[in-house]
């Protein structure tokens, strides 16, 4: 009979207070920022295995393939803390801002790396979405010290429970209960089977992935009296069992691939009746030509929907971050970017209600605005301004102020005049409240932070503006 202790991966144990600042949960070291640089200190007693791992052919290959964050060793004196520098990933995003497809991508990468590490006698000791960032549409593993030498006689993958709680159970909650993945912002350690069970359809709980992820763990959780010993078996059996576990985990993950759902915005571009072909063509031509002349390196597309304009910007060579509140639309944008290999990072985010900072002292995960401020040389706000003004009731001056904080230079903005069918629909008869929103007022407000450099009127009466930040 196999017995084992309930072991948690080391990084979730709080053993260091990290007096120098930065992360504090990993007993082996800490990650911190120095200006624009991302540095990692490894404590002396842990530095030599970590450095050996980083120098191994497997780690080097993953870094070349950009599946693991490229890392340089800055200092490695014996008996002293080692210092590493990680390549900075442009615009870090968090799991609570990802679409379901991105969650699956991040989980697949985690399993891929764990499986490949087995070949070298290593295993992943941490398996949480917080170890992944997205570089454009591709997932990249950033917690480079999460690999350890595997006990060849242990048939267990100790991080499996963490993988199930932080990847699989949130996906189960999304697929079977409709709980938003954004709710994981307050669930750093994911969900326990017992938290999900009461909300799952009873018969469904006894089939498919839910049987082994929720129902059986729940039954065994009550009765488990596990001893402190790790099970030990022959090396062949141990290796067979771990590989089999990884295969079955991948099967569970694939069964949680959510089917594409239609949402309010996911077919907006195809069904927008207030735009005809000529309007679409004129708008795309203006954006393409403008981006072609200003040639921005980093573009933020606010209200990106399924990414028509994000793709125009990325095709012009820019690194694009695309914000949209609609999970399905962001998911379609990510899928298209992934297939086309374009540098677009779709994020489920709201300009009007930006993702807050969370974690200990509100400093573990930065807010959306802290990450965006001064990071983009061009911001696109196409077909979104009237939503912010009317639906979210944000004052125009506030929006322009925020735009000036995020963009270091350019803004391309679409102005939707009163009388536009979409504007009127959002007003719902409260036209007097918005009577001040004229094009002259828009230009006057915009001119406080930006200089107008270009303008185009679409056949449907909407106007497109190219503005350059003052100062």
Partner 1 sequence: MRWLYAGIDLSFTTLLILAVLCALAQPAHAYVDPGSGLLAVQIIGTTFAGMIFMLRRRVQAFFRGMTVHFGSKSGKDAE
Please give the residue ranges that form the binding site for partner 1 (CB under 8 A): 1-4, 6-8, 155-157, 160-162, 164-165, 189, 192-195, 212-213, 216-222, 224, 226, 231, 233, 236-237, 240-241, 244-245, 248
DSSP 5: -
Per-residue tokens: 468: 């350059």
Q: Please, which residue, 189 or 425, has the CB nearer to partner 1?
A: 189
Q: C-beta of 240: minimal distance to partner 1 in Å?
A: 5
Q: C-beta of 104: minimal distance to partner 1 in Å?
A: 20
Question: Residue 379 in contact with residue 403, Cβ under 8 Å?
Answer: yes
DSSP 259: P
Per-residue tokens: 124: 């992943």
Q: Please, which residue, 4 or 408, has the CB nearer to partner 1?
A: 4
Q: Please, which residue, 3 or 293, has the CB nearer to partner 1?
A: 3
Q: Please, which residue, 53 or 157, has the CB nearer to partner 1?
A: 157
Asked whether the CA dihedral 294, 295, 298, 304 is positive or negative, the reply is: positive
Per-residue tokens: 309: 């304009």
Element (DSSP H or E) covering residue 38 = strand 37-42
Q: C-beta of 61: minimal distance to partner 1 in Å?
A: 29
Q: Please, which residue, 6 or 262, has the CB nearer to partner 1?
A: 6
Torsion of the alpha carbons at 137, 139, 140 and 145, rounded to the nearest 10: 160
Torsion of the alpha carbons at 91, 94, 97 and 100, rounded to the nearest 10: 120
Nearest-angstrom CA–CA distance, 296 and 324: 21
Q: C-beta of 213: minimal distance to partner 1 in Å?
A: 8
DSSP 214: I
Q: Please, which residue, 234 or 289, has the CB nearer to partner 1?
A: 234
Q: C-beta of 235: minimal distance to partner 1 in Å?
A: 12
Q: Please, which residue, 158 or 427, has the CB nearer to partner 1?
A: 158
Nearest-angstrom CA–CA distance, 183 and 170: 9
Q: C-beta of 212: minimal distance to partner 1 in Å?
A: 6
Q: C-beta of 456: minimal distance to partner 1 in Å?
A: 57
Q: Please, which residue, 241 or 426, has the CB nearer to partner 1?
A: 241
Q: C-beta of 175: minimal distance to partner 1 in Å?
A: 18
Maximum alpha-carbon separation in the chain: 79
Place of tokens 């309010």: 264
Comparing CA positions, the residue from 283, 458, 292, 463 lying closest to residue 385 is 463
Residues whose CB is less than 8 angstroms from the CB of residue 77 and which lie 6 or more positions away in sequence, other chains included: none
């Amino acid at each position: 009979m196999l017995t084992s202790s309930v072991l948690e991966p080391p990084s979730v144990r709080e053993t260091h207070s990290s007096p120098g600042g930065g992360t504090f949960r990993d007993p082996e070291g800490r990650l911190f920022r120095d200006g624009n640089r991302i540095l990692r200190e490894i404590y002396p007693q842990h530095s030599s295995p970590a450095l050996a791992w980083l120098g191994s052919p497997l780690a080097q290959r993953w870094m070349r393939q950009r599946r693991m964050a490229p890392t340089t060793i800055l200092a490695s004196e014996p008996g002293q803390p080692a210092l590493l520098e990680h390549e900075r990933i442009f615009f870090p995003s968090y799991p609570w801002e990802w679409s379901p497809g991105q969650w699956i991508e991040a989980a697949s990468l985690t399993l891929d790396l764990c499986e490949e590490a087995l070949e070298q006698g290593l295993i992943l000791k941490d398996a949480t979405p917080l170890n992944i960032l997205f570089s454009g549409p591709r997932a990249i593993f950033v917690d480079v010290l999460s690999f350890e030498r595997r006990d060849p006689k242990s048939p267990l993958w100790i991080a499996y429970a963490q993988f199930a709680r932080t990847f699989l159970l949130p996906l189960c909650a999304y697929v079977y209960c409709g709980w938003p993945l954004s709710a994981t912002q307050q669930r750093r350690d994911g969900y326990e089977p017992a938290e999900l069970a009461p909300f799952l359809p009873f018969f469904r709980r006894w089939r498919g992935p839910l049987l082994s992820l929720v129902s059986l763990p729940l039954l065994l959780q009550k009765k488990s009296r596990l001893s402190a010993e790790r099970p030990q078996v022959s090396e062949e059996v141990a290796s067979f069992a771990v590989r089999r576990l990884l295969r079955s985990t991948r099967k569970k993950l694939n069964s949680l691939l959510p089917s594409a759902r239609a949402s309010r915005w996911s077919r907006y571009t195809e069904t927008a009746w207030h735009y005809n072909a000529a309007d679409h063509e004129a708008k795309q031509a203006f954006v393409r030509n403008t981006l072609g002349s200003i040639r921005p390196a980093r573009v933020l597309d606010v209200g990106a929907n399924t990414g028509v304009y994000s793709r125009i910007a990325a095709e012009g060579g820019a690194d694009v971050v695309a914000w949209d509140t609609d999970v399905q639309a962001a998911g379609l944008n990510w899928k298209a970017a992934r297939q086309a290999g374009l540098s677009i990072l779709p994020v489920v985010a709201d300009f009007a209600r930006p993702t807050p900072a969370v974690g200990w002292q509100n400093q573990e995960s930065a807010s959306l605005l802290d990450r965006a401020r001064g990071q983009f040389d061009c911001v696109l706000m196409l077909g979104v301004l009237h939503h912010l003004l009317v639906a979210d009731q944000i004052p125009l001056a506030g929006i322009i102020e925020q735009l000036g904080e995020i963009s270091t230079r350019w803004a391309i903005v679409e102005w939707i005049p009163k009388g536009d069918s979409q504007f009127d629909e959002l007003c719902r008869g409260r036209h007097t409240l918005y009577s001040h929103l004229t094009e002259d007022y828009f230009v006057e407000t915009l001119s406080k932070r930006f200089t107008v450099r270009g303008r185009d009127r679409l056949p449907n009466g909407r106007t497109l503006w190219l503005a350059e930040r003052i100062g």
